[in-house]
Amino acid sequence: MARDMSDKDILKMEIEQLQKEVKNTREPVSKTAKELCEFVEAQSAEDPLIKGVPEDKNPFKEKGGCIIT
Amino acid sequence: MCDQTFVAITFGPCDSCSQNKPLMNIYLQNEPVNYCSLCVELMACQGLAKGETVSTLRAESENLKAKLEEERAKLHDVELHQVAEKVETLGQFVIKTRRTLKGHGNKVLCMDWCRDKRRMVSSSQVIMRSAAVCVLQEHAVTMPCTWVMACAYAPSGCVIACGGLDNKCSVYPLSLDKNENLAAKKKSVAMHTNYLSACSFTNSDMQLLTSSGDGTCALWDVESGQLLQSFHGHSADVLSLDLAPSETGNTFVSGGCDKKANVWDMRSGQNIQSFETHESDINSCRLYDLRADREVAIYSKESIIFGASSVDFSLSGRLLFAGYNDYNINVWDVLKGTRVAILFGHENRVSTVRVSPDGTAFCSGSWDNTLDFNPV
């Protein structure tokens, strides 16, 4: 495995990988960041840790207490 | 791959020059061959003859890295937080620890949520426990090794996987009978040549993904224990992994001591993308955009002088929870890059932070032997 490889072999592996990666297609940050913000904002409406959860729907609400009738 | 050289006393025709000589059994590309000592020398010199020394390779590697950075920089036309200026600011983040689980007698090293969102499994130096946070019912399994560094719940909720210094990942079927001896039903699935650092089931109970101190990740068939795919590319211990959240999920990311985060294709075993951080990048969390193929945000503060050991997103991805070695959890606004809360709940390093599957709670495990459960 990696620990048994000589420095030379590790470097060759890295070089082969880098040669492949240089050719990857990529998109500009202006486009991807905008899409990221849109995606997260859309999902935020359903995110309990952001919007909170009404007491009656909270699965972890403490049970107990008294009701006065 | 590795070349290993053994010396054995055999005499016969050399696989390279065909002359009858004392032979050395060596492995080339994992295939055993018999070369005479002269041919072994010649082969070793060939590498050098082309001028291919460690330093020339290193120079070529640095050149390629610089080229890659150049390509990436061309598309770095704006910062994420600038685009996020239009996004509504978050309200104040308030959360209280509802329950502290003290069942572990040792440092908590790892935890995972069950998909039913009510149960969790956690592991520590010696024991693995599964606990239900609503119903106080627990199973505990004593492990034969110290440092159970990884644990995971299967999608069905019926099986748990864990491992650590035993170099293996084993699965345990859970039962409703508290008294049942779970350890007796243990089944070893994954075998690495060094410690197991992380494990995760894929979308089914049938496949298990593992990462190891041996520098590799691997995909296993749980039933047969067969290795389905191995992932080579890290040049040091792999410490963590996470699957892409998708029904047809076919990629995962791994993080290693070689300061790289690698994105892998599960079917082909190929390393698709890789992100490397630099010497000076400690004590920060970073966001990498896969389509832009670069880092787009850094979450850090000068006041934070300890590293983060574990991170997880909230359901929408707007919040990032990170557990640090300074005993705190910092909650970050992913888009704006600001910190929205610090949570002080532990008396030792936070080793693991996980948000529940429905996003209604998060749990943190620590070297103070406890787990803090924090619901909305």
What is the chain B residue with the closest CA to A63?
B134
ipTM of the complex: 0.81
The number of beta carbons lying within 10 Å of the beta carbon of residue B322 is 22
Q: Which two tokens stand for residue B195?
A: 């410690």
The pLDDT, as a whole number, for residue A8 is 82
Q: Cβ separation of B376 and A6 shorter than 8 Å?
A: no
Determine contact, residues B147/B154, Cβ cutoff 8 Å.
Answer: no
What share of chain A in percent tops pLDDT 90?
Answer: 26
Instruction: Give the model's pLDDT for residue B216.
Output: 95
- With beta carbons less than 8 A apart as the criterion, state whether B145 and B130 touch: no
Is B69 an interface residue toward A (CB < 8 Å)? no
Residue B293 falls in which region: left (phi positive, over 0), alpha (psi -120 to 50) or beta: left
pLDDT of residue B1: 47
User: Is residue B211 within 8 Å of B217, Cβ to Cβ?
Assistant: yes
- β-strand B361-366 against B350-355: which pairing, if any? antiparallel
8 Å CB contact of A40 and B317: yes
Q: Do the Cβ atoms of B194 and A1 come within 8 Å?
A: yes
Interface touch A32/B296, C-beta < 8 Å: yes
CATH annotation of A7-57: 4.10.260.10
Question: What is the bridge-based pairing of β-strands B238-243 and B227-232?
Answer: unpaired
pLDDT tens readout for residues B47-84: 555 567 888 888 888 999 999 989 999 899 999 999 99
Domain boundaries along the sequence of chain A: 7-57
What is the enclosing helix (H) or strand (E) of B24?
strand B20-28
List the one residue out of B254, B242, B209 whose CA is nearest residue B228.
B209
Are B238 and B245 within 8 A, CB to CB? no
Distance from CA of B58 to the nearest CA of A (A): 7
Within 8 A of A41 by CB-CB distance, chain B residues are 87-88, 318
Nearest-by-Cβ selection for A26 from B79, B194, B291:
B291
3-state secondary structure of B14: coil
Beta strands in B174-290 (DSSP E): 187-191, 196-201, 207-212, 216-221, 227-232, 238-243, 251-256, 260-265, 271-276, 285-289
* Terminal CA-CA length for chain B: 49
Q: Which of A14, A19, A23 to mutate to test the interface with B (most CBs of B within 10 A)?
A: A14
CA B59 to chain centre: 29
Chain-centre distance for alpha carbon B307: 16
Helix axis angle, B54-74 relative to A7-22, nearest 10°?
20
Distance CA B1, CA A2 (A): 8
* Predicted local confidence at residue B7, as pLDDT: 53
What pLDDT is attached to residue B273?
93
Question: pTM to 2 decimals?
Answer: 0.81
**What is the pLDDT, as a whole number, of residue B197?**
95
Residue with token string 């079917």: B267
**SS3 assignment, position B341:** strand
pLDDT at B320: 96
Contact A59 B360 (CB under 8 A): yes
Q: Does A13 touch chain B (CB under 8 A)?
A: yes
